[in-house]
Amino acid sequence: MKALIQRVINANVTVNGELISNIGQGLCVFIGISHNDTPKDMEFMVRKLLSIKLFNDESDKKWKKSVVDADLELLCVSQFTLYNTWKGNKPDFHLAMPGDKSKEFYEQFIQMLRSQYKPDKVKDGVFGAYMQVSIQNDGPVTLELESPVNSGKIKNKNESNENVPLQAEQTLVA
């Protein structure tokens, strides 16, 4: 799994001009799911999104509070384009999990986030829809996070990740 995380003052998702979700201060997280993601990747991503320190504390010290510590909101948006490769000048998405399977995986991910935080603080868009996402980035702070299994080389669908060694920084990840 891959997440593009943006610290925001506010964010919202619309589909066909209809407001689907909106949040105040918190994180807008674009979620990409690769064809070889597992429940362990999902668990890692949920744990990290809820615990990474991206907000100031009461003394205005930077990078001291998580979204949970600060009681803020998350807006998650599924985005298969995060697992693109290039074929000449065109993007290719063969590394992304296929639609039906990724919809189920994404819905489980959202459920896991809600079960480990406050359900009313976790919002999302419409899976597979053509969405418009508006954000007011705070900082700006934009960070990328990838689950350890996939932060090495992503294998083609017919290959296995079993023998991909973890890099040193991956072994230290909480």
Please state whether 144 falls in left (phi above 0), alpha (psi between -120 and 50) or beta: beta
Lowest mean pLDDT among 11-15, 25-29, 99-103: 99-103
- Residues known to be catalytic: 79-81
Confidence of residue 148 (pLDDT cuts 50, 70, 90): confident
Average confidence score pLDDT of the chain: 89
Q: What pLDDT score does 8 carry?
A: 98
Q: What pLDDT score does 164 carry?
A: 39
116-to-48, 51, 77, 121, 125 alpha-carbon distances in Å: 12, 11, 18, 11, 19
Q: What percentage of residues in the chain have a pLDDT greater than 70? A: 85
pLDDT digits (tens, 9 = 90+) for 69-128: 999 999 999 999 999 999 999 999 999 999 889 999 999 999 999 999 999 999 999 999
Domain of 88 in residue numbering reads as 2-171
Q: What is the mean pLDDT of residues 141-155?
A: 76
Contact 11, 136 (CB under 8 A): yes
Confidence of residue 168 (pLDDT cuts 50, 70, 90): very low
Q: What pLDDT score does 151 carry?
A: 57
The CATH number that applies at residue 81 is 3.50.80.10
The full DSSP string for 142-162 is EEEEE-HHHHSPPPPTTS-ST
Decide if pLDDT at 167 tops 90. no
Give the total number of structural domains in the chain: 1
Q: What pLDDT score does 139 carry?
A: 95
Task: Indicate the pTM of the whole model.
Answer: 0.84
Q: What is the mean pLDDT of residues 129-147?
A: 97
Decide if pLDDT at 155 tops 70. no
Q: Which residues contact 114 (CB under 8 A, 6 or more apart)?
A: 122
Q: Which residues contact 33 (CB under 8 A, 6 or more apart)?
A: 1, 78, 80, 83, 96, 97, 102, 105, 106, 109
